[in-house]
């Protein structure tokens, strides 16, 4: 769409509410950013997931790190409970000196809603209650695997 296309027509064509498109254009113009299409698409991951990025605690890369840690702990038979994942996430945010809701400080863990949405964004993670390790799996704990853990 060119710069001369009316907002109403562009909104109708792309299925966007007219007021939403108007607000976004107004915000772009006020920041000194003008819409131009260079034709080069970015291959890098977005820094934020949604339009609520100003309230998002972790960037995409930081959430990837958290997800990787949870996967590694699961793979070495150290599954974390839902509550311990919330505590771990809080400690991670605290260590990175992130801006987060004050309720996290009082509870010393992330909120249930944050954790639920994190799990929704990360479908590879499954919420399962950690169980005792069976004898067959316990036998696999040898010096090499234990050294890899520590």
pTM over 0.85: no
In three-state secondary structure terms, 78 is coil
- Residue of 91, 123, 97 whose CA lies nearest to 110: 91
The rounded distance, in Å, linking the Cα atoms of 62 and 100 is 14
pLDDT in tens, 97-117: 999 999 999 999 999 999 998
pLDDT in tens, 4-48: 788 888 888 888 888 988 888 888 777 665 545 444 445 555 555
Q: Are 97 and 90 in contact (CB under 8 A)?
A: no
The rounded distance, in Å, linking the Cα atoms of 104 and 86 is 10
Query: Which of residues 43 and 81 earns the better pLDDT score?
Result: 81
Contacts made by residues 19-28, CB under 8 angstroms, sequence distance 24+? none
pLDDT for res 38: 45
Q: What percent of the chain has pLDDT over 70?
A: 70
């Amino acid at each position: 769409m060119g710069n001369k296309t009316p907002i109403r027509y562009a909104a109708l064509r792309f299925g966007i509410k007219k007021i939403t498109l108007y607000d976004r254009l107004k915000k772009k113009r006020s920041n000194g950013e003008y819409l131009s299409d260079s034709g080069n698409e970015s291959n890098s991951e977005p820094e934020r997931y949604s339009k609520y990025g100003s309230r998002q605690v972790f960037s995409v890369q930081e959430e990837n790190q958290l997800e990787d840690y949870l996967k590694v702990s699961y793979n070495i038979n150290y599954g974390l409970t839902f509550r311990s994942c919330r505590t771990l996430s809080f400690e991670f945010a605290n260590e990175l000196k992130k801006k987060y809701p004050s309720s996290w400080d009082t509870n010393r863990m992330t909120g249930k809603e944050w954790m639920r949405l994190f799990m929704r964004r990360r479908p590879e993670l499954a919420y399962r209650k950690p169980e005792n390790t069976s004898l067959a799996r316990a036998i696999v704990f040898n010096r090499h695997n234990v050294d890899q853990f520590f």
